[in-house]
Structure 1
């Protein structure tokens, strides 16, 4: 029978229930969900009829027990069976057809209708096959409703923005109540089920697996869709993100909640990576990948190269090795990479891999290395040893690689203020400046220049140049030692003075340097005479430098010939200067005196030759062969005789002497004998020293002038410019001084160190020299 609408259908249903029992079900089918629901609702409100739902008759595993529902509805009462077609359509078209064929012939004891949807094609076949079936089937005309899609999800996290249906029974109940509006608003219905989706591959419905948590996230959140790819995370990570996104309007909202903003995200790298929270590490990486870091070009580069958080550290360490040294952003990449790696835990395997990759750059390798790891420091000094570099290249390499090392390599100028000499010997100051510039260059590059060795041998001849310098004890004896604390640095040579002066400026310490000579031989036992000027509680000894030079197993020259120890030497000095500065700040120190007993020579260790003479040490461990007890002067050209010791002034060692393992002293080379005496005080608070006008005009036949202002009185204002001192003349008061600077003849930018007498005020001022322009009257 065919009906045009549901009213006609109910007439047929009423006729069926009011008439004589047929012994069979009446099958009612509609292709429209609204019509289906209209019929169902009228059946449910009819108290004379009992509705049996397949969704309420399921096996323990959740699958529908259609036969049980049919059995109930075939009893001796008035029944309406709901959900048979939906349950069978989940299985297959053939299962639906077979069950319809079975139900059409199923004997029942009372009255029963089976409400179906989307079964017209199958029912027509039965009606055409057996004319008797026309009385058992009602087909309702109307618009055909599209079938819903069914998606299977394994976890609730995959269902972003909606609550999924839980299990097959709930799905059947949903399908039994489906309307056209529901299907239109939700064309795909998602079910949580442990059943594999392949179990329903033959279903009449379109049954597929949920596209995944990532797809669900991108569907709901456009900023995730626009900035990410599925490969950026695992299903577990995307599921965790989905749970974090609960209640958030966007991914950016979550990032702001977690990190404060979507900019400057790299500032959180240190805290997040130190926490070792893998989920938060992934979230921060994903945030960086999504929103970028516009101010960090190197981070932008590595983010482009890595597609998952697990490779982030690898790219952070290694990608710079692939950047050509001629790249316009090379220096920026270098700086940003160093800063970035300081925020990540040290990764020794990746550091080694990075250093291995740099080998292809040959001598340019030095420009890729930093002082952030022992491996890189080793490769840096090794590369300087293997290849030839100009002083300018070394300056460029140290400037980026290590600020302490770069400061160490600067010149310390031995001048009339810090190096007292007879006027006839004043040229020796320039000799010292040049000597220690070349000494440091050779120490760093692990070599000895032939011309420098000749100079050492010349200085080793009697009369020896160091004798021109004041004895250390003479300098200290004339000092005002009131409220002075002495810091006795064992083996602190003048080679470190450029570094010490730079650090004093950084820490706000006013310094006054005096250059003297120690006693020969240059060993500690012979060079403690200055302690007589200090009470026991007024001096302390710092042995760390000497320990590095003599007792280190890490830097043993026989095991590693490269000057890797230099980095630690600078760290030791810096640590002590910081401690002194802290004591000034705390008010426990008013004046500090840094004194060295002697210096030390790295190049004598590097040279490694024994003296060809009959003198031989009886005690092999004595001072590494640089000095030898002797009853009388051996009268050798390179040997000084002092206080019962024969002392070598060149780079050789006496036979029998134990090889030094890092650096050596005891001899009379300049680096062993010349010592610094440094007075430190705290720079006054709120000090203001500046040029009245930092621009000077260069005019023909007129000496350039600078005017200095200081808000504290200066007793003897002086400026050090390009190695030359200029004395100031007070103008009106003790706060203004005028300086004539005759050597400034070219335009350009200059800097001046401010002194008060011999005290370096730790103030560096910039000024500019420019040619005076002349106006021309064109009329």
Structure 2
């Protein structure tokens, strides 16, 4: 019907004596408001009732209350908004309720105005339409509104993203004002409360949704990337600081360009900030760190991110050209993730799958990895030249342990190099076995080495300037390690290599401590190494594990010693003196000889009182009324050692250092006199030329574990080393020493064959 016809029908109804309610349906808000304005003329002529006044809080209208009120009011009543609310309940409820309203008995007259309900009204009893009880105004139909339910807790945050935020009870007013399209309503109701709604209902139910709609950066970020708690925290942080996303990233992580570097502070982030950091990486990407970029690309959740920080390297092969760079980046990153023990444990278990390549996937960040590295070295027995090449990048301390030391005796140099290699690989080589067997008879250390007391007697024992570090069980095997570590921290290192008294046990080798005490010198008695070797601390026990993983703790103990020595002031001197060494190989040898001793629990069978055995045992030496074994046997019946042993007379048990430590007075400059390759041929031996800015007769270099003296030349501060063993073409690393002090580390020179280029050219 045309609008004017319906107006005439309503006016006729008002003037009639009929009291049955009528329904007038309007096609859109504009026509709806036009009709309301037409009849709402004031002066009490017509009464307008808004259905929202009968709503209980956020609920729908209370129909009983509404119907009772309408039935008792006299005059002409126009009811507005009913269909707006009924549509929330669905078409069935709308039809049923409107039909009930038509049957209402009223004291006055009732005109029910509905909006865009023709689809329902046309299917009612046709007699209602023909009799004028239902009138449907022609016109362009209203597009169904979309209702956006916003949780009350999001009201403030959501206002920046949406328009028309209001209370559900005011839905009528919003629709009457022509707010088509999306109508946002702050309500605790949810879409589930209105399963049959004729409106499209969307929910603004999470902080994530606010962030997604407010910031374009979140458009492609899935809600599952964070928990509700995390999204709530993030929105609150941004709101409280009046920032946008980019400003939040700048304030917390130094900006988008700095995200890769910001991981250096990850350990100090709380749990929420750590998650926000991952979110920033996902949204903004990573620049300048290929490993972190890869981790982010394969991580769908924060949990994935943490596990992939550890595991992602496993998807690359050691042979891949980018592997070394990725390894270095990962090592630095994982050092900030030290608390994630479960992830580290899982990673290490996966490393076993790499078999002999597994060592390349480990770092020296954690004790767990270092012990696994030692385990794999023992299992796959990498050659010494391979270990020398790869360990500087993998486990710097273990590399320093294996570095050669010049004992000023070629045999001792070779002996300790072999001993350390055998200890690490948990295997006694034929060469090592031959040397031990040879020295068990010759015992040439008595000629090569002076008694420790001869060196101790010469030390200055000044109570104000001197301090003694009595390191129990620190044998000469650690000299290369100590020399390198002292160089790294700026300490001058000098060592006299001596022999201890036999048997190599503390009670026969601690006399020097009293000398320092009498002089009033400060004395530090450190027994951690000895206790470790006896198995009295930590978890190491040969009966439980045959692996030499205790090396990790040994090196940590010595690092702690060096850290303490760093506190030395100029003019102060520290003396590091040991009572005896120890032997790991005597433990893994697992050999008993035929002589049985009475004191079965003493010194693991490496020595015994002479009274236990009348005849001289084979491979034993006598001193202080004890027999001490000079090979790797154990007296029969002696208690097995759990980690390492001492008491015997092998070179590693007998040889002890007397070390002098002080602050370095000056940094010494060392450099090649030119950058040209060293040319060699059948007749021409390699000759290294160096500039060293000190005048010394005690300079040397080491190349491939071999030591060469540096001789002075006619030019001041120019030195030459003849190196006949250096014959192969390639790049060589070398160190420079003055006496026992390392003064330059990991320098390089190149060797080429003389005439090779010309021959290749032709």
TM-score normalised per structure 2 = 0.85
Cα 1:477–1:340 change in 2 (3 A) is: same
Secondary structure of 1:461's counterpart equals: helix
Q: Distance in 2 between matches of 1:745 and 1:325?
A: 30
- Which residue is 1:644 aligned to? 625
Deviation at 1:558, TM superposition (A): 2.3
Query: Which has the higher mean CA deviation after the structures are superposed, 520-529 or 625-634?
Result: 625-634
Structure 2 counterpart of 1:109, from 107, 110, 119? 107
- Which residue is 2:590 aligned to? 608
Structure 2 counterpart of 1:205, from 194, 199, 210? 199
Cα 1:714–1:289 change in 2 (3 A) is: same
Cα 1:303–1:466 change in 2 (3 A) is: farther
Task: Encode CA deviations 1:711-731: one digit per residue, 9 max, x unaligned.
Answer: xx6565734253212133686
- Which residue is 1:518 aligned to? 500
Q: Distance in 2 between matches of 1:345 and 1:741?
A: 46
Question: Contact 1:508/1:762 (CA < 8 Å) preserved in 2?
Answer: no
Which structure 1 residue ranges, 5 or more long, are not aligned?
A: 420-428
Deviation at 1:504, TM superposition (A): 0.8
Question: Contact 2:622/2:628 (CA < 8 Å) preserved in 1?
Answer: yes
Alignment of 1:188-587 (within 5 A): 188-195=182-189, 197-207=191-201, 214=208, 217-226=211-220, 228-246=221-239, 250-265=244-259, 277=271, 279-396=272-389, 398-414=391-407, 419=408, 429-462=409-442, 464-479=444-459, 483-531=465-513, 534=516, 535-553=519-537, 554-584=539-569
Question: Contact 1:493/1:676 (CA < 8 Å) preserved in 2?
Answer: yes
Deviation at 1:326, TM superposition (A): 3.4
Task: Encode CA deviations 1:86-128: one digit per residue, 9 max, x unaligned.
Answer: 2233333344344444545645434543332213455566795
Deviation at 1:32, TM superposition (A): 2.0
Q: Distance in 1 between matches of 2:672 and 2:435?
A: 45
Q: Distance in 2 between matches of 1:352 and 1:121?
A: 66
Query: Which has the higher mean CA deviation after the structures are superposed, 450-459 or 261-270?
Result: 261-270
Q: Distance in 2 between matches of 1:123 and 1:618?
A: 113
Cα 1:402–1:45 change in 2 (3 A) is: farther
Query: Which has the higher mean CA deviation after the structures are superposed, 454-463 or 43-52?
Result: 43-52
- Which residue is 2:54 aligned to? 57
Deviation at 1:577, TM superposition (A): 1.4
2:158 paired with 1:174:
no
Cα 1:517–1:94 change in 2 (3 A) is: closer
Cα 1:108–1:762 change in 2 (3 A) is: same
Structure 2 counterpart of 1:622, from 595, 602, 605? 602
Cα 1:486–1:46 change in 2 (3 A) is: same
Task: Encode CA deviations 1:111-156: one digit per residue, 9 max, x unaligned.
Answer: 543332213455566795257633x566544332212122445564
Task: Encode CA deviations 1:719-760: one digit per residue, 9 max, x unaligned.
Answer: 4253212133686xxxx512234448888656664555x352
Cα 1:652–1:344 change in 2 (3 A) is: same
Task: Encode CA deviations 1:200-240: one digit per residue, 9 max, x unaligned.
Answer: 333333345568665554343221123x2233234454444
Q: Distance in 2 between matches of 1:238 and 1:682?
A: 55
Cα 1:740–1:446 change in 2 (3 A) is: closer
- Which residue is 2:578 aligned to? 596
Deviation at 1:468, TM superposition (A): 2.3
Question: Contact 2:469/2:526 (CA < 8 Å) preserved in 1?
Answer: yes
Deviation at 1:268, TM superposition (A): 5.4
Deviation at 1:392, TM superposition (A): 3.1
2:11 paired with 1:31:
no
Q: Distance in 1 between matches of 2:679 and 2:83?
A: 106
Question: Contact 1:609/1:652 (CA < 8 Å) preserved in 2?
Answer: yes
Q: Distance in 2 between matches of 1:665 and 1:702?
A: 44
Alignment of 1:680-691 (within 5 A): 680-684=661-665, 687=667, 689-691=669-671
Task: Encode CA deviations 1:473-529: one digit per residue, 9 max, x unaligned.
Answer: 223334555643332222111111111011011110111222222222222222234
Cα 1:98–1:653 change in 2 (3 A) is: closer
Cα 1:268–1:694 change in 2 (3 A) is: same
Question: Contact 1:590/1:681 (CA < 8 Å) preserved in 2?
Answer: yes
Task: Encode CA deviations 1:328-366: one digit per residue, 9 max, x unaligned.
Answer: 333344444333333224444444433333333333333
Cα 1:21–1:646 change in 2 (3 A) is: same
Question: Contact 1:705/1:738 (CA < 8 Å) preserved in 2?
Answer: no
Deviation at 1:258, TM superposition (A): 3.0
Task: Encode CA deviations 1:450-491: one digit per residue, 9 max, x unaligned.
Answer: 332122111111363442222222233345556433322221
Cα 1:271–1:675 change in 2 (3 A) is: same
Q: Distance in 1 between matches of 2:357 and 2:170?
A: 70
Deviation at 1:768, TM superposition (A): 4.5
- Which residue is 2:82 aligned to? 84
Question: Contact 1:720/1:752 (CA < 8 Å) preserved in 2?
Answer: yes
2:644 paired with 1:670:
no
Q: Distance in 2 between matches of 1:745 and 1:97?
A: 102
Task: Encode CA deviations 1:376-418: one digit per residue, 9 max, x unaligned.
Answer: 444333333333422233335533442111110111123xxxx
Task: Encode CA deviations 1:9-28: one digit per residue, 9 max, x unaligned.
Answer: 767766765x4554344544
User: How many residues were matched structurally?
Assistant: 737
Q: Distance in 1 between matches of 2:113 and 2:26?
A: 8
- Which residue is 2:162 aligned to? 162
Which structure 2 residue ranges, 5 or more long, are not aligned?
A: none
Q: Distance in 1 between matches of 2:138 and 2:660?
A: 108
Deviation at 1:314, TM superposition (A): 3.1
Q: Distance in 1 between matches of 2:419 and 2:238?
A: 63
Q: Distance in 2 between matches of 1:235 and 1:20?
A: 61
Deviation at 1:592, TM superposition (A): 1.9
Cα 1:682–1:327 change in 2 (3 A) is: same
- Which residue is 1:143 aligned to? 140
Cα 1:575–1:684 change in 2 (3 A) is: same
Secondary structure of 1:646's counterpart equals: strand
Task: Encode CA deviations 1:58-105: one digit per residue, 9 max, x unaligned.
Answer: 246711134544543452234321112222333333443444445456
CA RMSD of aligned residues (A): 3.8
Deviation at 1:56, TM superposition (A): 0.9
Q: Distance in 2 between matches of 1:438 and 1:704?
A: 28
Secondary structure of 1:51's counterpart equals: strand
Query: Which has the higher mean CA deviation after the structures are superposed, 267-276 or 317-326?
Result: 267-276
Deviation at 1:441, TM superposition (A): 0.8
Q: Distance in 2 between matches of 1:703 and 1:346?
A: 51
Q: Distance in 1 between matches of 2:688 and 2:375?
A: 48
